[in-house]
């Protein structure tokens, strides 16, 4: 890895490597990401006291808001029956405190952080994509598996990170691809990586990431796309054919919700064969969440960080949602969360927690572009992601959210960089 940076004349400090490995491990391994965060904390702490940089001029209040969100979740522990499980749930929320503290300790600048972050993601996603495609080839041609090995969760299986999360990180990188200056300077490598990531995006077949991500990419890079096709008109039919072919996995999944069966959302009872899909299931889960709040008189503070899933499972059983077969590994929809971060937060920590979460999101959007390292396109994608997944209930989601929320760079910090290209 170090030789790669030397080749492209990139110099990294110890602190730069901390951020690099946190981002590098984020899409591919929860355990490695946890290790990177722990070791990184030690390095940042040592660097902080060694350089005596202090926290003056840093957005302290901004970075303390996630701690309030954490406290609102923690406040329900005293009322939990299963204390061990509650502590595990709370441990999962620790990035809300850890990541902002890291930024208070860090002397990083926007330019350095941006280059290190996206460089790490590009390398991580490229290596993981190559391994995934190789694994799928092996499964199809040597293990007699079907062509489905190249699509969706089967494609992502070697890293078990989830197709939608892997797709999300791909779109995040692509939306700010033009900010990776060392890669832009290497056109052949850039186009190879661009093709690989776009291929993986379509094969991952996430309806949200393709349906929202592709339009965002087209809008952002519309001038580049138009100029490219003007100069090389023969690329138009080739591009159309390629897009049609790689869109097939996505269209097969998209057809599942062309007829969303929304009338089933208000049903008094469901059967094992009820026509559930990604859209009406999420609406049903939102309905259950509101019912749970009403039945427990928990509008303000919610029902706690551990009871939410148990009560949702009870709703699945009560309404006859498919819950698998007793004595087998098939559990149906049991332990499926609300698939909506706003509903998840509302049920767990009530209106108080929901308002703090909304305040955090609004605050990110309100930060001037010169002070944050993510674009508004990425933030829009994150907001849509929150509407379809309980993002903060997975380490990949909560670490990423804390990273983009905490990366608030005051102007005086943007002029100093340890990252030289």
Q: How far apart are CA 204 and CA 249, in angstroms?
A: 8
Confidence (pLDDT) at 371? 83
Kindly report the three-state secondary structure assignment for every residue of the chain: CHHHHHHCCCECCHHHHHHHHHHHHCCCCHHHHHHHHHHHHHHHHHHHHHHCCCCCCCCHHHHHHHHHHHHHHHCCHHHCCCHHHHHHHHHHCCHHHHHHHHHHHCCCCHHHHHHHHHHHHHHHHHHHHHHHHHHHHHHHHHCCCCHHHHCHHHHHCCCCCCHHHHHHHHHHHHHCHHHCHHHHCCHHHHHHHHHHHHHHHHHHCCHHHHHHHHHHHHHHCHHHHHHHHHHCCCHHHHHHHHHHHHHHHHHHHHHHHCCCCHHHHHCCCCCCCCCCCHHHHHHHHHHHHHHHHHHCCCCCCCCCCCHHHHHHHHHHHHCCCCCCCCCCCCCCCCCCCCCCHHHHHHHHHHHHHHHHHHHHHHHHHHCCHHHECCCHHHHHHHHHHHHHCCHHHCHHHHHHHHHHHHCECCHHHCCCCCCEC
Q: Are 395 and 34 in contact (CB under 8 A)?
A: yes
Provide block-wise average pLDDT over 10 residues at a time, the chain (421 residues): 54 89 95 96 91 68 88 70 68 92 88 92 96 94 87 87 92 92 88 92 85 89 78 64 61 62 88 85 95 94 88 94 85 93 95 95 87 90 95 95 88 42 36
Helix axes 395-406, 341-366, angle to 10 degrees: 20
Chain-centroid distance, C-alpha 171: 10
- Hunting for tokens 């949602």 — which residue is that? 321
Q: What is the largest CA-CA distance in the chain?
A: 67
Confidence (pLDDT) at 28? 93
Q: How far apart are CA 183 and CA 10, in angstroms?
A: 11
* Cβ-defined contacts of 361-367 (< 8 Å, 24+): 361/386, 363/62, 363/65, 363/405, 364/404, 364/405, 367/408
pTM passes above 0.85: yes
Confidence (pLDDT) at 416? 40
User: Which tokens go with 112?
Assistant: 């350095």
Q: Is the dihedral angle over the CA atoms 44, 46, 51, 52 positive or is it negative? A: positive
Confidence (pLDDT) at 386? 97
Q: Are 340 and 388 in contact (CB under 8 A)?
A: yes
Distances in Å between the alpha carbon of 391 and those of 79, 238, 339, 398, 401?
25, 37, 8, 7, 9
Distances in Å between the alpha carbon of 25 and those of 22, 125, 187, 248, 399?
6, 10, 26, 30, 11
Confidence (pLDDT) at 420? 35
Phi, psi of 321 (to 5 degrees): -65, 140
């Amino acid at each position: 890895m170090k030789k790669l940076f030397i080749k492209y004349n990139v110099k990294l400090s110890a602190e730069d490597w901390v951020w690099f490995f946190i981002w590098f491990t984020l899409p591919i391994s929860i355990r490695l990401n946890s290790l990177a965060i722990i070791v990184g904390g030690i390095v940042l702490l040592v660097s902080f006291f060694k350089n005596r940089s202090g926290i003056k001029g840093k957005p302290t209040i901004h970075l303390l808001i996630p701690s309030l969100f954490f406290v609102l979740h923690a406040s329900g522990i005293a009322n939990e029956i299963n204390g061990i499980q509650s502590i595990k749930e709370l441990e999962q929320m620790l990035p809300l405190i850890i990541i902002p503290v890291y930024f208070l300790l860090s002397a990083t600048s926007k330019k350095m952080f941006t280059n290190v972050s996206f460089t790490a993601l590009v390398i991580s996603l490229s290596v993981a994509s190559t391994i995934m495609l190789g694994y799928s080839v092996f499964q199809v041609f040597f293990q007699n598996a079907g062509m489905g090995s190249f699509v969706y969760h089967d494609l992502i299986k070697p890293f078990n990170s989830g197709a939608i999360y892997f797709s999300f990180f791909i779109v995040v990188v692509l939306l700010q691809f033009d900010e990776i200056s060392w890669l832009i300077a290497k056109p052949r490598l850039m186009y190879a990586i661009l093709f690989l990531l776009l291929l993986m995006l379509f094969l991952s077949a996430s309806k949200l990431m393709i349906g929202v991500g592709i339009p965002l990419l087209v809008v952002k890079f519309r001038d580049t796309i138009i100029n490219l096709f003007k100069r090389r008109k023969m690329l138009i039919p080739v591009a159309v054919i390629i897009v049609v072919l790689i869109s097939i996995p996505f269209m097969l999944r998209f057809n599942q919700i062309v007829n969303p069966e929304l009338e089933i959302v208000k049903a008094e009872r469901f059967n094992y064969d009820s026509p559930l899909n990604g859209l009406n299931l999420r609406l049903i889960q939102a309905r259950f969440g509101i019912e749970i709040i009403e039945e427990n008189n928990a509008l303000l503070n919610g029902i706690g960080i551990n009871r939410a899933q148990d009560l949702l499972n009870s709703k699945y059983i009560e309404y006859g949602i498919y819950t698998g077969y007793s004595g087998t590994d098939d559990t149906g929809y049991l332990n499926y969360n609300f698939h909506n971060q706003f509903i998840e937060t509302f049920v767990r920590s009530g209106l108080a927690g929901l308002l703090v979460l909304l305040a955090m999101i609004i605050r990110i959007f309100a930060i001037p572009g010169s002070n944050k390292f993510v674009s508004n396109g990425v933030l829009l994608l994150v907001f849509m992601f929150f509407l379809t997944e309980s993002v903060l209930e997975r380490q990949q989601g909560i670490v990423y959210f804390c990273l983009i929320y905490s990366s608030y760079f005051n102007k005086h910090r943007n002029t100093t960089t340890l990252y030289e290209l």
